């Protein structure tokens, strides 16, 4: 089968590799669509980061570069390994793409995403969505019912937004400010709207502001060059400020804006991945008793995220801004997202095209 294989920085090759072998307790899946993630771009430009470099195999998967890429994907079950009785051949599914140790529990309330040596399918080994087929442990496979397979490829990044919402402790009726309208910022805002929050977005890019308005994920969108965002939010909340803020940009001034905007005793959730250590306005955090929380990935979020889409509370179609075949991965996918990123939210790849 064909697969996109990561060898090193700026070295991704489309190759023929053996099809994966079905094992007991696992599920064979024909991949339908795979999204290109910001993490994939970082690996391409700056890596290897999550990908274990040649000569340093991952302690759980035992794999090293080259590895098959892709962790945001959907597909159809084609075979069930021995012991798998609660799925059916022909079901459409998505994958929660974790690599964790076999003895780590994954039930409700378990923070398995924080376990030692955690990594991701499509980065740390065990195949990936940028291939025609994959075999995955049953515990990571989630049925999606009648959600279209292209939209289902966005369930994984949407689950990141859902986990950030859960971490925030926000409730229906609360007011949120999302800093940054890139893919994760938009999808986080979509979850917040679906959960009944009033959502404001702060963003500079004209294209991203337009996408936020087009998708309906924000009640209002502010350009910080044109308006004092914190003051405007206070005006809209009778002087109180936002209950919760979500940092989705990894830009220090955005974090400062969120610190100014949230009310005393408010919560800020950092969703973005920082490439450097930012300065944090500790005096404001102390004097307002702000709760600054980190978040990474997801844990038991996929079922709830899938329900939001199944119930029609989130429409993922508008976030798909491109569809390409595997041969166009670098030129039509990575290069577009690197050099023309304001025009795109999610580019999907059909590994069979």
Q: What is the DSSP letter of 113?
A: G
pLDDT band at 275 (very low <50, low <70, confident <90, very high): confident
pLDDT band at 271 (very low <50, low <70, confident <90, very high): very high
Residue 127: CB atoms within 10 Å: 26
pLDDT of residue 340: 87
Average pLDDT of the residues in 287-294: 98
Give the integer Cα–Cα distance in Å for 321 and 342.
Answer: 11
Contact yes or no for 169/301 (Cβ under 8 A) = no
Predicted confidence (pLDDT) per residue in 49-93, tens digit:
999 999 999 999 999 999 999 999 999 999 999 999 999 999 999
Contact yes or no for 69/128 (Cβ under 8 A) = yes
Give the integer Cα–Cα distance in Å for 186 and 281.
Answer: 25
Predicted confidence (pLDDT) per residue in 21-55, tens digit:
999 999 999 999 999 999 999 999 999 999 999 99
pLDDT band at 338 (very low <50, low <70, confident <90, very high): very high
Average pLDDT of the residues in 153-166: 98
Q: Which of 234, 264, 268, 243 is nearest to 254 (CA)?
A: 268
pLDDT of residue 107: 86
Give the integer Cα–Cα distance in Å for 317 and 296.
Answer: 25
The residue assigned the tokens 């923070």 is 111
pLDDT of residue 343: 82
Q: What are phi and psi of 313, to 5 degrees?
A: -85, -15
Predicted confidence (pLDDT) per residue in 123-157, tens digit:
999 999 999 999 999 999 999 999 999 999 999 99
Where residue 78 falls (left for φ over 0; alpha for ψ -120 to 50; beta otherwise) is alpha
Predicted confidence (pLDDT) per residue in 206-252, tens digit:
999 999 999 999 999 999 999 999 999 999 999 999 999 999 999 99
pLDDT of residue 11: 98
Contact yes or no for 169/195 (Cβ under 8 A) = no
- Name the burial class of residue 106, with classes exposed (0-12), middle (13-18) and buried (19+) by CB atoms within 10 angstroms of its CB: middle
Average pLDDT of the residues in 280-296: 97
What is the DSSP annotation of 289-323? T-EEEE--S-SS-HHHHHHHHHTTS---GGGEEEE
Q: What are phi and psi of 315, to 5 degrees?
A: -105, 110
Residue partners of 350: CB distance under 8 A and separation at least 6? 32, 33, 323, 324, 325, 326
pLDDT of residue 290: 98
Residue 23, CA distances (Å) to 27, 84, 215 in order = 8, 10, 42
Give the integer Cα–Cα distance in Å for 67 and 287.
Answer: 48
């Amino acid at each position: 089968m064909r697969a996109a294989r990561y060898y090193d920085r700026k070295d991704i090759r489309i190759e023929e590799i053996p099809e994966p072998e079905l094992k007991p307790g696992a599920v064979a899946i024909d991949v339908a669509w795979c999204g290109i993630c910001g993490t994939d771009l970082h690996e391409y430009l700056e890596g290897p980061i999550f990908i274990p470099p040649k000569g340093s195999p991952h302690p759980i998967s035992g794999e090293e570069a080259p590895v098959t890429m892709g962790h945001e994907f959907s597909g159809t079950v084609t075979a069930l390994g021995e012991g798998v009785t609660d799925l059916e051949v022909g079901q459409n599914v998505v994958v929660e793409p974790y690599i964790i140790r076999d003895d780590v529990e994954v039930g409700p309330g378990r923070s398995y995403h924080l376990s030692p040596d955690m990594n991701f399918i499509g980065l740390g080994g065990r195949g990936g969505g940028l291939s025609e087929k994959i075999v995955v442990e049953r515990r990571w496979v989630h049925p999606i019912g009648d959600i279209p397979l292209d939209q289902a490829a966005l369930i994984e990044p949407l689950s990141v937004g859902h986990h950030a919402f859960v971490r925030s402790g926000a409730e229906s009726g609360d007011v949120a400010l999302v800093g940054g309208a890139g893919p994760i910022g938009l999808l986080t805002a979509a979850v917040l709207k679906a959960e009944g929050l009033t959502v404001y977005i702060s963003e500079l890019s004209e294209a991203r502001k337009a996408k936020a308005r087009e998708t309906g994920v924000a009640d209002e969108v502010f350009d910080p060059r044109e308006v004092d965002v914190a003051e405007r939010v206070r005006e809209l909340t009778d002087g109180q400020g936002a209950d919760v803020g979500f940092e989705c940009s990894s830009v220090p001034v955005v974090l400062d804006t969120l610190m100014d905007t949230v009310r005393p005793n408010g919560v800020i959730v950092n969703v973005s991945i920082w490439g450097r250590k930012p300065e944090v306005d500790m005096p404001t955090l102390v004097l307002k008793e702000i709760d600054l929380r980190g978040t990474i990935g997801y844990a038991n979020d996929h079922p709830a995220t899938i329900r939001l889409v199944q119930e029609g509370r989130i429409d993922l179609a508008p976030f798909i801004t491109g569809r390409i075949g595997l041969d166009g991965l670098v030129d039509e996918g990575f290069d577009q997202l690197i050099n023309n990123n304001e025009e795109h939210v999610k580019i999907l790849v059909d590994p069979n095209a």
